[in-house]
Amino acid sequence: MYKFLKTAFLALAIVCLSGRLVAHTSAKEALPVSSSASSAILYEPSTGTVLYEKNAHIKRPMASTTKLMTALLTAECLPPDRVVTVRREALEVIGSTVGLQAGDRLTVRDLLYALLLASGNDAANVLAFETDGSLDAYAARMNARAEAIGMTDTRFVTPSGLDAEGHGSTAYDMALLAAEVLKNDRTAEACATVTADIVVSDRVLTVRNHNRLLTELEGCVGMKTGYTSQSGRCLVTAATRDGVTLIAVTLDCADDWAEHRAMLEEGFACVKNVVCEPPALTEIPVFGGTSASVSVTGEPVSFVGLRDAETPKASVRAVPYVWAPIEAGETLGTVEYRVGDTVVATAPLVATASVDVMPRAPFLTRVWDMFFGMLRELLSG
């Protein structure tokens, strides 16, 4: 497995986590080990690197892992403190529920926890009706958001994940969705919660997360379980260790707990977070300023790479000169981080201080402007 991971990461082993450089790569062949999953993937979200895949682009039903999209839309569309009144039409659902009744009142925050922890199909429907007024309109919203994320092989029909004609996704698309859910503070926090008390009208219910890996796997931060007779067992798991986050997805996997442990442990054994400090200060000449030069520096850059990978070296690419005024923080070039001759990331090179324009007497203004006008033309030519 390590050999495969190394091959995948050599295609793109490093990324700047500041978001100034984002690149993507993917493995093209399945990991040469036995797997009981119909589809599976191990994904590193900051680079978009697929560390392991098996039938990762084949569309399958994904059961209640669907609720990751419902949770994301809830966090993006509804304020957490809004009080929702449960409609009777939202309760026409089968499968797992939290026992909501028509007329019950509870907050969006509590509905989100009922959705993600107890996997309440009733909570999913209530949130859909509250957001868009109908399940069909909500499905359209789900599909539009999926398209924006890049989930090209996904179609949502229900907010709960119950089997429906055409409802399905791929392991790869679900990994993209999981990465988006982790970016949202509300959904990320809910996915990582083991138990929560929710208030439904005049009663308090304790909901418990179905994902046992939250308490059994080091660094696990969620995310969602799922099962129907058509989909089989489905699981999306995310874990973070030492600054590295990995996402595992299996669709139709009888032994999903064990497989997610194995994939994630193997992945963390092969990758690490590398922090590169900025280079030493560089001086750039300043024309027409109160100072003859300005100091510039880069920013620390974090990378995800192989544990035995060479540490990138920084090189500065700065402008040859600048004209005053200069503002502190102004970008005056770039720092390139290289492994050998390959640029693997960049960061801005910024001024460490401001430089004002040199004050001058009024009678020298025209002479000054003419002189520096000619100097600019000479240097630019």
Instruction: Give buried/exposed letters for 93-109 (b at 16+ CB in 10 A, else e).
Output: bebbbbebeeebebbbb
The pair phi, psi for residue 237, each rounded to 5°, is -130, 140
- Which two tokens mark 354? 């401001």
Does the annotation count 67 as an active-site position?
yes
Beta strand 49-54 pairing with 83-85: unpaired
What's the rounded mean pLDDT across residues 157-181?
A: 97
Q: Which residues pair with 296 in a beta bridge?
A: 282, 351
Q: What is the pLDDT of residues 226-255, one digit of tens each?
A: 999 999 999 999 999 988 999 999 999 999
Domains of the chain: 2-272 (3.40.710.10), 277-380 (2.60.410.10)
Q: What is the pLDDT of residue 41?
A: 96
Active site residue: 119, 160, 169, 231, which one?
119
Q: What is the pLDDT of residues 51-90, one digit of tens each?
A: 999 999 999 999 999 999 999 999 999 999 999 999 999 9
Active site residue: 54, 59, 67, 224, which one?
67
What Rg value do the Cα atoms of the chain yield, rounded?
A: 27
The pLDDT-based confidence of 157 (bands split at 50, 70, 90) is very high
Active site residue: 35, 38, 39, 64, which one?
64
Lowest mean pLDDT among 14-18, 255-259, 313-317: 14-18
Q: What is the pLDDT of residue 177?
A: 98
Q: Is the pLDDT score of 31 beyond 50?
A: no
Q: What is the pLDDT of residues 195-209, one digit of tens each?
A: 999 999 989 999 999
Q: What is the pLDDT of residue 369?
A: 63
Distance CA 228, CA 95 (A): 9
What's the rounded mean pLDDT across residues 105-122?
A: 97
Confirm if 23 and 48 have CB atoms less than 8 A apart: yes
The pLDDT-based confidence of 27 (bands split at 50, 70, 90) is very low
Q: What is the pLDDT of residues 33-43, one digit of tens each?
A: 446 899 999 99
Does the annotation count 64 as an active-site position?
yes
Q: What is the pLDDT of residue 365?
A: 57
Lowest mean pLDDT among 123-132, 205-214, 281-290: 281-290
Q: What is the pLDDT of residue 332?
A: 92
Segments in 184-218 forming alpha helices (H): 185-191, 213-216
Beta strand 105-107 pairing with 83-85: antiparallel
Instruction: For residue 300, give the 3-state DSSP assignment.
Output: coil
Q: What is the pLDDT of residue 65?
A: 98
Q: What is the pLDDT of residue 298?
A: 84
Lowest mean pLDDT among 43-47, 131-135, 311-315, 331-335: 311-315
